[in-house]
Amino acid sequence: MQERDWTTADSLETTDDRHFQVQREPITWPNGARIALTWTVVLELLTATSKHFNTAHVIYGVYGGRRGIWRTLDLLDAYDVKASIFVNGSAGEKFPQVVKEAAARGHEIVPYGYASNFYLEELDARQEREHILKTLKIIEDLTGRKPRGWASPEYRPGPNTLSVLAEQGIVWNGDFPNDDLPYRCKVGGKELVIIPYQLESDSREIYERHRHHPRVWVDCFKRSFDALYEEGAEKPKMLNATLHAHLARPLWMKALESTIRHARQFPDVWYATRGEIADWWLKR
């Protein structure tokens, strides 16, 4: 009997029952780390060709490529932090020098759809495929290397997204906020690593959508980190923290610095990009 491929719908119902065991076998991170900490920076744009278009949001979002991303890269450099930079294809076209510089500084460049207001779940199969392939090509042309990961705009993949990604040799996907740890799925005879996304530590969710002060984001990070670090003494865990480049204004830089400095107080922390986490997971 042929094994059924994992699809977007399986983000809620996986084919591997072991994934839902209450008591799972503890995993291990490099050097016995208690927690894997990964930083995500999102460089995004909106496009007028989408039905989800707002002129004010477009203008506001351009700040990310003009100023916010540079400020963020400099701060990450100061603390020797390598991040996964999620980049819209349209942002790559408008700010190619940003993508090239981020890659040159050692950050992982991750395709994040063509524009943040194009949701793959709203496209037909042909459009979904074209959208993904177009974005992958833009990022590859800018960095000189084939992308290894993918995240869909607003983390809303289409029904065929995983199949197209597997076909294109993508190693990991970050669309599903349904676990604390990565897990594997099989698509088209190939294995993908799902690296769960955590909304609780996303600057846009806390600041832009809910209008909280950046100190709330810092508090959410610290509380999440402390809880997972404590759990990690017996069962190692993972935490992602996300900053959107268009929000990286002076007010936010102190918030980002506070989270980095908080984590640096603790031993046994593995600072990794999502690609590095996926590689480690596949070797287990």
What is the pLDDT at residue 117?
86
**Is the pTM value of this prediction over 0.85?**
yes
CA angle 119, 256, 194 (to 5 degrees): 40
For 251-282, the pLDDT digits (tens) are 889 999 999 999 999 999 999 999 999 999 99
What is the pLDDT at residue 88?
96
At 112, is the secondary structure helix, strand, or coil? coil
What is the pLDDT at residue 18?
55
Distance of CA 254 to the CA centre of its chain: 22
220 token code pair: 């959410």
For 145-160, the pLDDT digits (tens) are 999 999 999 889 999 9
What is the pLDDT at residue 5?
54
Tell me whether residue 97 is exposed, middle or buried, using C-beta atoms within 10 angstroms of its C-beta: 0 to 12, 13 to 18, 19 or more. Answer: exposed
Flag residues of the chain having pLDDT under 70: 1-24, 48-58, 60, 204-212
Asked if 21 contacts 73 with a C-beta cutoff of 8 angstroms, the reply is no
* CA–CA dist 33, 240 (Å, integer): 15
What is the pLDDT at residue 6?
53
What is the pLDDT at residue 213?
80
What sections of the chain are H helices per DSSP?
A: 55-61, 63, 69-78, 89-94, 96-104, 125-143, 161-167, 203, 214-231, 250-263, 274-283
Tell me whether residue 138 is exposed, middle or buried, using C-beta atoms within 10 angstroms of its C-beta: 0 to 12, 13 to 18, 19 or more. Answer: buried
In 3D space, the residue among 171, 203, 188, 198 whose CA is nearest the CA of residue 277 turns out to be 171
What is the pLDDT at residue 47?
75
Q: Which residues contact 155 (CB under 8 A, 6 or more apart)?
A: 174, 175, 176, 177, 197
